[in-house]
């Protein structure tokens, strides 16, 4: 929403005249968003494997002396594949769980869904908020993420070189794969931080009358209209899904 200011008209950049910094930020955000949406599908095998593990483990038939007559999971392990063993399935569950959260961490950042302690920040002016965001990304997010990437990479390489496997003899092999996923998740966080840094930098040092999409801040004229990166919907401004009954045809009571 552009408003007329004394020093000029507020205008959003178009794709044709968008500066290189903002183009790079858009590409980084698109990639992080794409990876996050793709990784979110890991919730499906996570739920399926968890449910199957619980059902197969508990589906048993016992005789009057509480001796096991038939156990679904026991039968599958001995007659189909060791893949159906409870230990292996439980390790597969936390592999999916780790991959899911590692790969959507950056997705949450580009949509501004992470928890913020805004007791002070929310009462500051736009430029002060932008400076806090810029310094926070520069001093904390980017350096800390780089340190984590360094140690996580060494963690994954060591696992690969040692051919690390599960501590259980019937667990999963190739433990380096899930540790590499952690590295990828941290790289996505770094890319998301760089995209936010470029956007905030342009907001502070570009033409004050030019506008562009922001992931972690709201422009002064849009303040309060967004929630977690999405436009706020006022219930009073929406049409009810179910018509609200009126009292026009209601019979008077005695």
| pLDDT tens by residue, 69-96 | 788 888 888 888 887 888 888 899 999 9
The pLDDT of 226-250, averaged and rounded, is: 57
pTM for this prediction: 0.82
- Tell me: pLDDT of 7 over 60: no
- Tell me: pLDDT of 199 over 50: yes
- Tell me: pLDDT of 159 over 80: yes
Of 52 and 194, the one with more pLDDT: 194
- Tell me: pLDDT of 122 over 70: yes
Give the Cα separation of 4 and 8 in Å (integer). 7
- Tell me: pLDDT of 243 over 60: no
Q: Is 51 helix (H, G, I), strand (E, B) or coil?
A: helix
Average pLDDT value for the chain? 85
- Tell me: pLDDT of 98 over 90: yes
Identify the pLDDT of residue 203.
94
Give the Cα separation of 168 and 170 in Å (integer). 5
| ∠ CA 182-188-189, rounded to 5° | 90
| pLDDT tens by residue, 166-181 | 887 778 889 999 999 9
């Amino acid at each position: 929403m552009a408003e007329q200011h004394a020093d000029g008209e507020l205008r959003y950049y178009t794709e044709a005249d968008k500066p290189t910094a903002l183009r790079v930020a858009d590409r980084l955000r698109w990639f992080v968003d794409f990876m996050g949406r793709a990784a979110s599908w890991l919730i499906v095998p996570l739920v399926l494997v968890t449910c199957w593990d619980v059902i197969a483990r508990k589906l048993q038939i016992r005789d009057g002396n509480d001796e096991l007559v038939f156990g679904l999971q026991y039968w599958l392990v001995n007659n189909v594949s060791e893949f159906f063993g409870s230990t292996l399935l439980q390790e597969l569950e936390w592999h999916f769980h780790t991959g899911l959260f590692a790969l959507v961490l950056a997705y949450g950042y580009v949509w501004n869904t992470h928890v913020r302690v805004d007791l002070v920040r929310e009462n500051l002016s736009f430029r002060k908020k932008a400076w806090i965001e810029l310094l926070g990304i520069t001093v904390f997010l980017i350096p800390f993420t780089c340190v984590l990437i360094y140690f996580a990479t060494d963690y994954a390489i060591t696992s690969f070189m040692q051919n690390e496997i599960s501590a259980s003899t019937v667990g999963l092999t190739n433990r380096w794969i899930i540790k590499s996923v952690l590295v990828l998740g941290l790289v996505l966080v770094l890319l998301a931080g760089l995209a936010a840094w470029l956007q905030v930098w342009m907001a502070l040092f570009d033409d004050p009358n030019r506008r562009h999409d922001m992931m972690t801040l709201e422009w002064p004229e849009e303040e309060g209209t967004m929630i977690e990166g999405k436009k706020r919907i006022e219930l009073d401004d929406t049409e009810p899904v179910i018509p609200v009954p009126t009292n026009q045809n209601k019979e008077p009571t005695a």
